[in-house]
Amino acid sequence: MRLFYHPGSPYARICRMAVREAGLAGKVAEVETTLRDPAAVMLPHNPVGRVPALVLDDGTTLTETSLVLAWLDSCDAERPMLPLDPKGLAAYGRVLGLLDGIAVWNRELRRPEHERSPGVIALEIGRAARVLDALEADVAAGGYERLDAGWLALAATLGYGERRHTVWDWRAAHPRLQAWFERAAARDAFRDTVPPPSGL
Ligand SMILES: N[C@@H](CCC(=O)N[C@@H](CS)C(=O)NCC(=O)O)C(=O)O
Q: Is the CB of 7 under 6 A from ligand 1?
A: no
Which of 37, 51, 111 has most ligand 1 atoms within 8 Å of CB, for mutation? 51
Average pLDDT over residues 77-104: 97
Q: What is the pLDDT of residues 132-156, one digit of tens each?
A: 999 999 999 999 999 999 999 999 9
Q: What is the pLDDT of residue 139?
A: 98
Residues 59 and 108 in one domain: no
- Alpha carbon separation from 141 to 58, 62, 144 (Å, rounded): 44, 35, 9
Confidence of residue 91 (pLDDT cuts 50, 70, 90): very high
Domain that residue 152 falls in: 86-188
Last residue of a domain, which of 73, 101, 116? 73
Last residue of a domain, which of 73, 99, 134? 73
Distance 143 CA to ligand 1 centre (A): 26
Q: Domains in the chain: how many in total? A: 2
Residues 67 and 90 in one domain: no
Mean pLDDT estimate for the chain: 98
Q: What is the dihedral of CA 180, 98, 134, 150, to 10 degrees?
A: -50
Last residue of a domain, which of 73, 96, 125? 73
Cβ 111 vs Cβ 177: under 8 Å: no
* CATH number for the domain harbouring residue 43: 3.40.30.10
Distance 141 CA to ligand 1 centre (A): 31
Q: What is the pLDDT of residue 127?
A: 98
Q: What is the pLDDT of residues 32-72, one digit of tens each?
A: 999 999 999 999 999 999 999 999 999 999 999 999 999 99
Q: What is the pLDDT of residue 131?
A: 98
Report which protein residue has its CA nearest ligand 1's atom 1: 64
58 found inside a domain = yes
**Alpha carbons 171 and 176: distance in angstroms, whole number:** 9
193 found inside a domain = no
Average pLDDT over residues 85-108: 98
Confidence of residue 178 (pLDDT cuts 50, 70, 90): very high
194 found inside a domain = no
Which of 16, 50, 67, 100 has most ligand 1 atoms within 8 Å of CB, for mutation? 50
199 found inside a domain = no
Report which protein residue has its CA nearest ligand 1's atom 14: 50
